[in-house]
Amino acid sequence: MIPLEDNVGDIIGKAQRGLGIADSDLAKRAGVTRESLMAVRDNGQADRETLEKIAPVLQLDAAALIDLAEGKWKPNQIKINDGFAMFTTDYNGMTVNSFLVWDPDTKDAIAFDTGADCAPMVHRAKGLKIKMILLTHGHPDHVADLPRLREETGAHVFAPAREPVSGTESFDEGKDFHLGKIKIETRQTWGHSPGGVTYIVNGLARSLAIVGDSIFAGSMGGGNVSYDDAIKNNLQKILTLPNETVICPGHGPMTTVGEEKQHNPFFAGRI
Ligand SMILES: [Fe+2]
């Protein structure tokens, strides 16, 4: 399995930036020293006492944060036998995920994002016909290989109206897509980016939520546009899905709604 996208230091940093809490303020409000804050955040020290004190100030779940610091949790590996493939490609030294979903009967397929390099997806799609490319958001790592994927497939490309990508068709939240027995619902899960969309895919053996950078296994995308809305959208539009729904994030491993409700420090205990 690919590693978790974020470590405890990343999570603390995202919460601090999102809530606008400087180091000195956090140390003071939590009643810890600056040194112990640096040790857990910047050096990965699994210091339970410090984590327990800073978690509530950052509105994070202490137990979930400590489990991650101690390496005690990662999501169970997910296998989907037919109609689904995940691709992890390298983008300037980091990795990004893209996904392919198809109707096993008709062989018609939908690509979700392109990743840095669409070659593995195009290779896997031999014998399938990619009819649509659906973009979760417009960040460069997710759409990096769009010209080539479009050229190779001749597929229609759709992007959220609130986050247009040049040369694509726009759609608003609530638009449904259908392809054979695959049905896709759209929910705006913005906050990380202005118009990020979660695609809820039904018709395969497992229901999927293809979330872009809205939520990761054990973390979430940075709330660059609005941290509050990123949190709220994840709680209301993703974590209300059935527990067994598979979350397919833009970075890091797949997970499920049930696992994130229990183990994600941003959301555990909040839903
Ligand atoms: Fe992003």
Q: Residue 210 Cα, ligand 1 centroid: separation in angstroms?
A: 13
Q: Residue 35 Cα, ligand 1 centroid: separation in angstroms?
A: 31
Q: Residue 15 Cα, ligand 1 centroid: separation in angstroms?
A: 17
Encode 11-21: b = buried (16+ Cβ within 10 Å), e = exposed: bbbbbbebeeb
Residue 126: other Cβ atoms inside 10 A: 6
Predicted confidence at residue 188, as pLDDT, reads 98
pLDDT at 75 over 90: yes
The alpha-carbon radius of gyration of the chain (Å, integer) is: 19
Give the span between the Cα atoms of 61 and 19, in whole angstroms.
Answer: 15
247 in helix, strand or coil? strand
Predicted confidence at residue 228, as pLDDT, reads 98
Is residue 39 within 8 Å of 69, Cβ to Cβ? Answer: no
Give the span between the Cα atoms of 110 and 271, in whole angstroms.
Answer: 31
Predicted confidence at residue 115, as pLDDT, reads 97
Q: Residue 214 Cα, ligand 1 centroid: separation in angstroms?
A: 8
- Spatial CB neighbours of 108, under 8 Å, sequence gap ≥ 6: 102, 128, 129, 131, 179, 180
Q: Residue 225 Cα, ligand 1 centroid: separation in angstroms?
A: 11
Q: What's the pTM?
A: 0.98
Q: What is the pLDDT of residues 116-126, one digit of tens each?
A: 999 999 999 99
Give the span between the Cα atoms of 21 and 36, in whole angstroms.
Answer: 16
Q: Residue 80 Cα, ligand 1 centroid: separation in angstroms?
A: 25
Q: For 40-52, what is the mean pLDDT?
A: 96
Q: Residue 193 Cα, ligand 1 centroid: separation in angstroms?
A: 7
- Reading the block at residue 170, the tokens are 């726009």
Question: Both ends of the chain: CA-CA distance in Å?
Answer: 27
Predicted confidence at residue 195, as pLDDT, reads 96
Q: Residue 8 Cα, ligand 1 centroid: separation in angstroms?
A: 19
Percent of the chain with pLDDT over 90: 99
Q: For 240-254, what is the mean pLDDT?
A: 98
Q: Residue 16 Cα, ligand 1 centroid: separation in angstroms?
A: 19
Beta strands 129-134 and 108-112 are parallel
Mean pLDDT across the chain: 97
Question: How many distinct helices (H) and strands (E) make up the chain?
Answer: 10, 12
CA–centroid distance for 176 within its chain:
20
Q: Residue 145 Cα, ligand 1 centroid: separation in angstroms?
A: 15
Q: For 19-36, what is the mean pLDDT?
A: 98
Q: Residue 231 Cα, ligand 1 centroid: separation in angstroms?
A: 15
- Reading the block at residue 231, the tokens are 């949190």
Percent of the chain with pLDDT over 70: 100
Q: Residue 28 Cα, ligand 1 centroid: separation in angstroms?
A: 32
pLDDT at 81 over 90: no
Predicted confidence at residue 12, as pLDDT, reads 98
Give the span between the Cα atoms of 224 and 230, in whole angstroms.
Answer: 9
Q: Residue 116 Cα, ligand 1 centroid: separation in angstroms?
A: 13
Confidence label for 246 from pLDDT (cuts 50, 70 and 90) = very high
Give the span between the Cα atoms of 79 and 142, in whole angstroms.
Answer: 23
Q: For 87-93, what is the mean pLDDT?
A: 96
Q: What is the pLDDT of residues 120-176, one digit of tens each?
A: 999 999 999 999 999 999 999 999 999 999 999 999 999 999 999 998 999 999 999
pLDDT at 73 over 90: yes
Q: Residue 250 Cα, ligand 1 centroid: separation in angstroms?
A: 8
pLDDT at 1 over 90: no
Q: For 42-55, what is the mean pLDDT?
A: 96
